[in-house]
Amino acid sequence: MPYPTDRERDRPWVIRTYAGHSSAAKSNELYRRNLAKGQTGLSVAFDLPTQTGYDPDDELARGEVGKVGVPISHLGDMRTLFDGIPLAGANTSMTINAPAMWLLALYVAVAEEQGADRAQLAGTTQNDIVKEYLSRGTYVFPPAPSMRLITDMIAWSYTNIPKWNPINICSYHLQEAGATPAQELAYSLSTAIAVLDSVRDSGQVPAAEFGRVVGRISFFVNAGLRFVEEMCKMRALAQLWDEITRERYGITDAKTRRLRYGVQVNSLGLTEAQPENNVQRIVLEMLAVTLSRDARARAVQLPAWNEALGLPRPWDQQWALRMQQVLAFETDLLEYEDLFDGSRVVEAKVADLVEGARVEIDRVQEMGGAVAAVESGYMKGELVRSLAARRRRIESGDDVVVGVNRFETTEPSPLQADGAGAIEVVDPAMEYAAVEAIRVWRAGRDAATVAVALDDLRDAALKDSMGTDANLMEASIACAKAGVTTGEWTGALREVFGEFRAPTGVAAAVASEAVGEIATVRARVRATGDELHQRLRMLVGKPGLDGHSNGAEQVAVRARDVGFEVIYQGIRLTPAQIVAAAVQEGVHVVGLSILSGSHLEVVPAVVEGLRAAGVDDVPVVVGGIIPPDDAAALRERGVAAVFTPKDYQLTGMMDEIVTLVRAAQGL
Catalytic residue among 131, 349, 380, 548: 548
From the list 31, 133, 139, 172, the catalytic residue is: 172
The yes-or-no answer on residue 481 being catalytic is no
Given the residues 55, 546, 561, 630, the one annotated as active site: 546
Q: Which of 542, 561, 568, 599 is the catalytic position? A: 542
- The identity of residue 622, as a single letter, is V
Sign for the pseudo-dihedral over CA of 326, 332, 335, 337: negative
DSSP sequence for 110-161: HHHHTT--GGG-EEEE----HHIIIII----S-HHHHHHHHHHHHHHHHHHS
- Which residues share a beta bridge with 223? 265
Which residue in 10, 18, 568, 599 is the catalytic one? 18
Which has the closest alpha carbon to 559: 588, 584, 534, 602? 588
250 vs 630: CA distance, rounded Å: 56
Instruction: Mark whether 548 is an active-site residue.
Output: yes
Identify the CA nearest to 381 among candidates 254, 498, 538, 505. 505
Report how far residue 233's alpha carbon sits from residue 228's, in angstroms, rounded to the nearest whole number: 9
Distance from C-alpha of 595 to C-alpha of 612, rounded to nearest angstrom: 26
Which residues on neighbouring strands pair with residue 623, listed in sequence order?
A: 593, 643
Q: Is 18 a catalytic residue?
A: yes
| CA-based nearest residue to 91, from 26, 154, 1, 25 | 1
- Please state, in angstroms and rounded to a whole number, the distance separating the CA atoms of residues 533 and 529: 6
- Cβ atoms < 10 Å from Cβ of 601: 19
The secondary element (H helix, E strand) that includes residue 247 is helix 227-247
Please give the DSSP secondary-structure letter assigned to residue 299: E
End-to-end CA distance of the chain: 67
546 is catalytic: yes
Considering 21, 26, 131, 173, which one is annotated as catalytic? 173
109's enclosing H/E stretch is helix 100-113
Catalytic positions:
18, 172-173, 542, 546, 548
